[in-house]
Each structure stands twice: as structure tokens, then as C-alpha cells.
Structure 1
Amino acid sequence: MRSRHLPGRATTAGLIGTALLTLLTSACSGGPASENGAGEPSPPATAEAPAEPGNSPTGSPPPAKGTVKVTATVTTKLNTPWGLAALPEGDLLVSSRDTGKIFRISTEDGKKTELGEVRGAMAGAVPGGEGGLLGIATNGDGYIYAYFTSASDNRVVRMLYNDKKPAGQQLGEPSRVFTGLPKSAVHNGGRIAFGPDKMLYVGTGDATDSDLSQDKESPAGKILRMQPDGSPPGHGNPEADSVVYSYGHRNVQGLAWGRENRLWASEFGQNKWDELNLIEPGKNYGWPEVEGKAGRKGFVDPVAQWTPKEASPSGLAWAKGSLWMAGLRGERLWRIPVGGGTEPVAEPQAFLEGEYGRLRTVVSDGNDGLWLVTSNTDGRGDPDDDDDRILKLKVR
């Protein structure tokens, strides 16, 4: 039977709201939290946001061995930071999973300014387990986009951003981009990013119902590609009226574009293998039928894989011809040199092992550096918690 197309707007909830969710323990994670568009008028048009860095089809192959140097601690005492986005003028936005707040961080002096919290008619972020306020993104259109867990589902919204207003009041009322993503205590996905094509990409989890990953009628266990208002792009997706871009994922945690605009994704496995995948439209990445490299017809094998204790991967970034993958349980930053190809040109390297604890999100600065977010606080305010921070790295 041919699958129905998955709509791209808030009507998605009506199709999948009856999905039964079970509660499992994530075997691939460790540490805190058990982790291994209609509505608002658009603001005036602005210049297009620049493409993701490193997309030139030319360039020298990366060296087999790279280097990482921590050049600065940008800020400290962050509460459960999760998403990170760079503003055109150089400052950073960071989301707090458990408080539902978004902060602007000065990269000059580390000053934190609260923009506001996800709230209002779309309901606020509800923390719990791996849920809460997760990924954030910007694309130069005057909005901040956010992925969060509500009382009923996971959803993506956008909020007008006005930095002329007082601190704590700089976010407008959320308007829906995409709703009806199944939620659970774990496997909520959460990474969002704008691609070089100006489309919004959303990484989702299977919400502990692994069958949903193979069900094209469900947005769970997928990478979704949509217009900024949540509607299907109309071109470039496997099916014109669907936002589903790839499927068969367990829990997508990182999205990054390399040379020739190739999309890469990092993903939690279960007990055996965590994955780095090269994403192509319409392809099936195997979960729950396979985990890691299986060589089975009809499924795409990962480009690289790690045991959960080495990785439990989260954010992913591209810089200097390599992919850089943050590890939670692995407590290390992985360098995977791929250059302009589709396979690593050398073995992955691990950096910062155990030096800063769990690593959550990594973002390119557009040149030879990265911003790196740690993930050690549990949000309960325990006095023996290590505070979380943003680090500036120079890489090669």
C-alpha cells in the first residue's frame, strides 16, 4: 500500500496524534537526563543569510591528523544548555533545556542577556528526561526558531526577535512552524538548522516507538526538510507534498553541511553502534532493522560508527575540511576528515577526552574555529554540579 504524504503544517498532529508511545531507557547514553507556520506576519524582508561555511566544492584535502586548541572560555554558569546559534554580528544564542529560556551571549566579554522564554498560545516548553527546549536556529529573517517538548508533543515554532526591548521581553509570541512530533522521556531528536538552500531541516527521534522510524506517515525517526513556515518545499524532497527527507533514524542529534552542500547527520544508536551518516533524499538509514554497518540491501550504512561509550553523539559541525562531532557519554570531540568526498580520508581522531565532561553542541565560526557547549548540569541546582560553559576552539 502506498503511504499517504505527510503534510507540512500543524495538521500533522491530527494524523499522528494517536501514535502509542512506550517508555524505554536509552542504553546508549549516560550522565544527566538519561541521555546517551501560520499566525504571525513575516517581518520586512532582509538580505539572505549566508550559506553554511565550508560549502565550496574546491579546497585541499584535510590533513590525516588535525589539532584542537581551546583559545577562550566565552561564558560559564549556564543551566542545561542545548541549542546554539551564531548571529551575523558575531554573538551567540543559546537555549536552556530545563528553563525554556533563550540567552544572547557576547563573544567579546561573555555577558549573558535573557531574550525571553518559549511561552504563550503555543504552550511553553515542558522539561523532563531528554525533553524541554532543545535546538534553536536563525536564518536572517528576523525570527528565532526553536524545537521544544510541549505538554502533548514535540514542535517547532518561530518567534520575532527584537533586541531593542528590555531583557526578558525580546521574543514575540510563538507561531507554529510544525507540530505533532511524537514525544517521550527519551529519543526526542531536537536538532534544527537552516541549510545552504535556505530550507529548515529538523532531526527527530523515534520517541521510543521504533516502528515509527520506518513509517513514512509519521515524522518520528526522520530528517524533515521544510520551508521556514513549515510547508513542504515543493521541490528537492522525495515527494513534493511531504516534508520527509530521509527515514529509518533512531535519534538524530546533529546536522551539518560540508563541501558540495552535502548533508551529514550524527545519530544515537542503541546498545552497539552510534553513527555518522551522509544523508541523501529518500534513503532508508535502517533503524530498527539494522544498527551500524550491516551491508544489507535497501539500507544505507553509516560512514563511521562508534560504540556508545566512545560517543553517544550530539552536535555536529563542519570546519577546515572535517566534521566535528560532540560526544556526551564519550566526553570527547571527534574529528572526521572527509574533505570533499563521501568517506573519511583518515581515521577519526578524538580530542578533549574527559577534560570538559559531556559535550553537547558544536557550531562553526565560519573560519578555522568552533564554538563548543558542555552538558554537565542537570538543572536541579545541586551544589556539586559543574557549571556548563561555551568554549572557543581553533581547529585544523
Structure 2
Amino acid sequence: MRRTTASRGARVLAALALVGVLTACGNDGYTPSGPWKPLPEGAPPEVSPPTDSAPAPAPGQPADPGSGQQASDPNVVATDLNVPTGLVVLPDGTAIVGERETGRLVQVFPDRSPARELMTVPGIDTAGDGGLLGLALSPTYAEDGLIYAYVSTATDNRVVRFPIGGTPNPVLTGIPRGETHNGGGLLFADDGTLFIGTGDAGNPASAQDPSSMAGKVLHVDVFGQPVNGVLVHAQGLADVTSLCLGGNQALYATDDSASGDDELDAIAFGRDYGWPTAASGTVDPVVTFPSAVGGPGGCTVSGTTIFLGMRDGQKISIVTLDAHGAVVDQPEEFLAGTYGRLRSVALDQQGGLWITTSNRDGLGTPKDHDDKVLRIVPPTSGGDSPL
């Protein structure tokens, strides 16, 4: 099994000693900055409606490591952002990026046109690793223009939805909020239901508590109602930073552990993934990454290939699976050490891989014009990008 009670317990205590007093649902040290209060928004900005008529251009090739990656780098499509974490690609080939620290949404263009500020999501509390985390497009985005966001408030983590320029309306509230491990994975399945990845909020025991929404993959409809009356899809996870969907509707989650190895997990209904205590019946991960070179923050799938954004590893890890979902070989590295900490990833219809950097998150070393958004052809999509 991936974790044992004794070894995991020791590492959890060490991690808690490093980060100080953490919190989940109870009053054990986390001090919110104030109640969550949606702020009024002005008139929506003028944004073109989604369209399929403007295909994105082919991305360029990566700059040499250490070259500085200034604005002349053809892979850099946006610069000077503040911890871009949420990332969705629109039908017209542009992308919307959400800044964790500010709640700001910007539209980013593959032709490197200047990014366009769309709005600021109100009521965000950025203490610890909270803030504006995941983004997802409504399954009927072409008709309703709705964006779903996973956000931290002063009192909870929650999923909200809104049109560009509109006031967020709650979809699911009351997800435990802590100083660390706030989760943030959002993914719509092909049937229009929404998977939500949460973290244990600094309280590991809550991940295996069936009455808590912490440390789980949740499953709801577009209104936040449990699918088939069951809210918890899977449990026993430390910090689900992202979710992605592969072939045959296989669901994957990146789990950024507080101690021990980070993981890519294949998520199945009703299963336990062994955090903090592995036992008979808990599910082993698809692949693990030592925490020093891991820190998974994003995942996206193309066929049987999974691309993972690694913050601590400062690279894209490429995991290739066989037809049965087993790992074919050791994960390959892409862009290692080139742009610093890499987080969110998404693929567009032209095969371009969109990537956000996370160098201004307090753990990285920002360079000129950080943080950035990149768009590049990954090695497996037919480009000449080096491994």
C-alpha cells in the first residue's frame, strides 16, 4: 500500500511542526480575515462570444534553459501575472486564466496579443495556499457563458458560478478551509456532472471521515446537488489540486501530499486512497513522485498520455499508460528547469499545451516578467519539442 499508519503518522507530525498550526473545520488556529462578502460588480466588459471560427496558431519551440525567457520567447503568451492557477481553454482557442492571489480573470491569446482583464472574482481570501484555485467552463458554455470557480473565502472553500462580469452564485459551500491543503480541482465530465477535488485543510483525519467534504473527490450536478444522492465519490486524499479525464471516462487526480510521495491517482467511485492511513482495500496510486521533485498542480490527458505540471520539480512530467491504465515506463520530463515552477496545464484543439508558471507563490524564485502563461507543442503531439 502507498502509506502505512506508523510511517505516515511520523511524517504528518513532522510536517505539522514545519508549517505551524493548521486548521480544517474547527477552531484550531486558523484566523479568517473576515466574513465572506460578495462585492458588487459593474457592467460586464465587452467580450466577444465564444466561437469556433478562430483556430489558434501553431506554438513555437522552447527557449534554451537559462536564456531568461523574455517577451521574445515565442512560447510565452502572457507575462506579469500573479500566481496564475485557474486555467481553461475557450472554444475560440483563447484561454481564461485566474490569479490565485488577486481573484482576477484575464483572457490570454495564442498569438501573444496583450492579455485582456475580464473581471475580479469578489470575496476571495488568500491566506495560506487559498484563493482563486480551479476553473471550469459550464458544459453549456456556448449558450450560457457560465464559468465555475473553486475559491477560498474567509470561512470555507466553495464552488461558485458566474458569467463574465457577474456576481458569483454559490454552487457548493461549506468545504473545509485551512491554512494549507485547500484543494481546488474542478472537472466537468462528458455527462455534464461536476467533479470537485478538495484537500484535508490541514486536518488529515478528515480525509477518511465520510461525514466531511475534506480530502475527497465530490460529485455534483450543475446546481451542486449530489449525483444519485451521493456527494462523496472517493475519499482518503491529502490535497486534490487538479482532476483530468482520460479515455473510457477514466478519472485522474493529482494528490499533493503533506508528507511522503505525491501521487497521480485513478479515481473510482467509493474507493479510499489511503490518506492518512493505508489499510486493506485502499487503492495504490498510478504513479508516485518524491515530494522534492513533485508538487503536482495540474493535469491534462491526450489519448493515453497524461501531462502533469510540477511546481517543486519545475517541469512537466509525462506519464504514458497502456490500454489498461497501467504505466508503460518511468515518467518523462519536459521543460525541466526552463521556466521554474509549473502548475496548471490544458490542451487546446490544435494540440497546443497551455501551462502556467507559479514562481510568485512564495516558494519560487521569480524572474523578469513572472508569472507567465506558456503555449507549446508537447513531444507526443507531433511537435519537435525536445525532451
TM-score by length of 2: 0.76
Show CA shifts across 1:79-109 (max 9, x none).
Answer: 1111100111111000011111111112223
Contact 1:22 1:208 in 2 (8 A): no
Residue 251 (structure 1) aligned to one of 236, 239, 255? 239
Task: Say yes or no: does 1:143 pair with 2:164.
Answer: no
1:127-166 to structure 2, matched below 5 A, reads 127-139=126-138, 140=141, 141-161=144-164
1:55-134 to structure 2, matched below 5 A, reads 70=62, 72-119=75-122, 124-134=123-133
Instruction: Provide the residue aligned with 1:375 in structure 2.
Output: 358
Contact 1:136 1:192 in 2 (8 A): yes
Contact 1:23 1:185 in 2 (8 A): no
Counterpart secondary structure, 2:291: coil
Residues in 1 aligned to 2:97 and 2:342: alpha-carbon distance in whole angstroms: 14
Cα drift, residue 21 of structure 1 = 5.8
Alpha-carbon spacing, 1:136–1:350, altered in 2? closer, same or farther (3 Å)? same
Write the letter of the residue equivalent to 1:19: C
Residues in 2 aligned to 1:22 and 1:340: alpha-carbon distance in whole angstroms: 46
Residues in 1 aligned to 2:110 and 2:314: alpha-carbon distance in whole angstroms: 24
Instruction: Provide the residue aligned with 1:20 in structure 2.
Output: 26
Task: Say yes or no: does 1:233 pair with 2:232.
Answer: no
Residues in 2 aligned to 1:128 and 1:244: alpha-carbon distance in whole angstroms: 26
Cα drift, residue 260 of structure 1 = 0.7
Instruction: Provide the residue aligned with 2:319 in structure 1.
Output: 336
1:210-229 to structure 2, matched below 5 A, reads 210-229=204-223
Report the identity percentage.
36
Task: Say yes or no: does 1:313 pair with 2:296.
Answer: yes
Residues in 1 aligned to 2:61 and 2:345: alpha-carbon distance in whole angstroms: 14
Counterpart secondary structure, 1:156: strand
Contact 1:320 1:368 in 2 (8 A): no
Residue 285 (structure 1) aligned to one of 273, 295, 307? 273
What is the RMSD of the two structures over their aligned residues, measured on CA atoms? Answer: 2.5
Residues in 2 aligned to 1:368 and 1:320: alpha-carbon distance in whole angstroms: 12
Q: Which of structure 1's runs of 4+ aligned residues deviate more than 4 A?
A: 21-24, 382-386
Contact 1:206 1:249 in 2 (8 A): yes
TM-score by length of 1: 0.75
Residues in 1 aligned to 2:26 and 2:114: alpha-carbon distance in whole angstroms: 44
Residues in 1 aligned to 2:87 and 2:366: alpha-carbon distance in whole angstroms: 25
Show CA shifts across 1:182-201 (max 9, x none).
Answer: 11111000121212221111
Instruction: Provide the residue aligned with 2:7 in structure 1.
Output: none
Instruction: Provide the residue aligned with 1:181 in structure 2.
Output: 175
Gapped regions of structure 1 (runs ≥ 5): 1-16, 25-48, 51-67, 162-170, 235-240, 291-295
Contact 2:24 2:202 in 1 (8 A): no
Instruction: Provide the residue aligned with 2:184 in structure 1.
Output: 190
Cα drift, residue 110 of structure 1 = 3.3
Contact 1:258 1:340 in 2 (8 A): no
Gapped regions of structure 2 (runs ≥ 5): 1-22, 31-50, 53-59, 63-73, 381-387
Contact 2:24 2:178 in 1 (8 A): no
Contact 1:319 1:369 in 2 (8 A): no
Q: How many residues align?
A: 314
Alpha-carbon spacing, 1:358–1:379, altered in 2? closer, same or farther (3 Å)? closer
Higher RCO, 1 vs 2 (CA within 8 Å, ≥6 residues apart): 1
Residues in 2 aligned to 1:313 and 1:18: alpha-carbon distance in whole angstroms: 22
